[in-house]
């Protein structure tokens, strides 16, 4: 029998919580380490659709990327949106576990899966960890052959099918790009460290993008946050199945994009 504690020990070795950013909130949210695990569901975050899907799937453990209570909480009021989900999880005996910036920095981690989906090879972290340059936030590498910015944006949109929020790009459409940096999630903080032809990340704000483009450095491609961060879940699910006998996994089929659609104006 596999226990929650054994799966946590494996995840902790893959994504050491000591590597999480100081402001982050990772690790076990609900559950007991001695409980048995047969079925693990993986998702970007604990939306009501995700928790319902996990409970319907009979999950004993829900592994998430986004913290449930990032800024802390003083209550798990069962009538509040999040409190009600946590009540449902606890009542069903489903443990909930978070690997966030520790999974971003790990290798393979969140940005590795994004780089792979885009076809970027030979990657290094954009912001290496002081004690281990192979780990860190973001990835920078190269496409096997040069392409144009517009063609790369189109190919990313195809690779991220289901990205309801759409893919936006900024720069000269014919700009030749080969060296590509990526960062799953909100990667604006890495802009000053980007040494690439194009940077692929999420949540770039108007002034951030405008000011950065004015420097004439990398072109920008903005992808839906949660979709870019859902790509590492499939390889992690396969890893867990390979490591633990008798475990089954299910990756929540929806990328947790809060946007329902986009209409080009």
Nearest residue to Zn ion, using CB? 185
Beta carbon of residue 203, minimum distance to Zn ion (angstroms, whole number) = 9
Cα-based torsion angle of the residue sequence 21, 25, 26, 32 in order, rounded to the nearest 10 degrees: 160
Beta carbon of residue 184, minimum distance to Zn ion (angstroms, whole number) = 7
Q: How many other CB atoms are there within 10 angstroms of residue 163's CB atom?
A: 22
Beta carbon of residue 74, minimum distance to Zn ion (angstroms, whole number) = 24
At 43, phi and psi to the nearest 5? -155, 165
Contact mark string toward Zn ion, 199..238, x via CB under 5 A: ------------------------------x---------
Q: 120 or 137, CB closer to Zn ion? A: 137
Q: What is the rounded end-to-end Cα distance, in angstroms, of the chain?
A: 55
Q: 44 or 152, CB closer to Zn ion? A: 44
Q: 114 or 247, CB closer to Zn ion? A: 114
Stretch that binds Zn ion, among 12-20, 184-192, 210-218, 244-252 (CB under 5 A): 184-192
Cα-based torsion angle of the residue sequence 202, 110, 5, 129 in order, rounded to the nearest 10 degrees: -100
Interatomic CA distance for residues 243 and 240, integer angstroms = 5
Q: 32 or 205, CB closer to Zn ion? A: 205
For CA atoms 43, 45, 49, 50, the dihedral sign is positive
- 185 scored as a contact of Zn ion (CB under 5 A): yes
* Helix residue spans in the chain (DSSP H): 4-14, 48-56, 81-91, 101-105, 110-118, 149-159, 206-214, 225-228, 233-243
Stretch that binds Zn ion, among 129-137, 177-185, 190-198, 252-260 (CB under 5 A): 177-185
Q: How many residues bind Zn ion (CB under 5 A)?
A: 2
Beta carbon of residue 244, minimum distance to Zn ion (angstroms, whole number) = 26
Interatomic CA distance for residues 179 and 174, integer angstroms = 15
Q: 185 or 224, CB closer to Zn ion? A: 185
Q: 222 or 229, CB closer to Zn ion? A: 229
Q: 171 or 185, CB closer to Zn ion? A: 185
Beta carbon of residue 35, minimum distance to Zn ion (angstroms, whole number) = 27
Beta carbon of residue 85, minimum distance to Zn ion (angstroms, whole number) = 18
Beta carbon of residue 185, minimum distance to Zn ion (angstroms, whole number) = 3
Over the range 168-189, which residues count as b (16 or more CB within 10 Å of their CB) and which as e?
Answer: bbbbeeebebbbbbbbbbebbe
Binding footprint of Zn ion on the chain (CB under 5 A): 185, 229
């Amino acid at each position: 029998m596999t226990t929650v504690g054994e799966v946590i020990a494996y995840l902790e070795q893959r994504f050491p919580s000591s590597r999480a950013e100081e402001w982050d909130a990772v690790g076990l949210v609900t559950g007991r380490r001695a409980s048995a695990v047969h079925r693990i569901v993986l998702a970007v975050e604990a939306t009501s659709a995700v928790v319902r899907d996990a409970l319907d799937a009979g999950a004993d453990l829900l592994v998430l990327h986004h913290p449930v209570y990032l800024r802390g909480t003083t209550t798990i009021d069962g009538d509040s949106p999040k409190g009600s989900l946590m009540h449902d999880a606890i009542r069903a005996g489903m443990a909930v576990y978070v690997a966030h910036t520790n999974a971003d920095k790990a290798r393979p981690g969140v940005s590795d899966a994004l780089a792979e989906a885009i076809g970027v090879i030979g990657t290094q972290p954009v912001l290496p960890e002081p004690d281990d340059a192979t780990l860190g936030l973001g990835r920078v590498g190269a496409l096997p052959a040069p392409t144009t910015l517009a063609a790369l944006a189109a190919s990313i949109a195809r690779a991220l099918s289901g990205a309801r929020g759409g893919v936006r790009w900024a720069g000269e459409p014919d700009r030749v790009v080969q060296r590509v940096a990526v960062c799953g999630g909100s990667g604006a903080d890495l802009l000053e460290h980007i040494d690439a032809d194009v940077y692929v990340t999420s949540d770039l704000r108007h002034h951030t993008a405008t000011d950065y483009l004015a420097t004439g450095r990398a072109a920008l491609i903005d992808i839906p946050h949660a979709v870019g961060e859902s790509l590492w879940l499939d390889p992690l699910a396969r890893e867990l199945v390979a490591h633990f006998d008798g475990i089954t996994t299910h990756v929540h089929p929806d990328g947790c994009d809060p946007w329902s659609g986009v209409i080009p104006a």
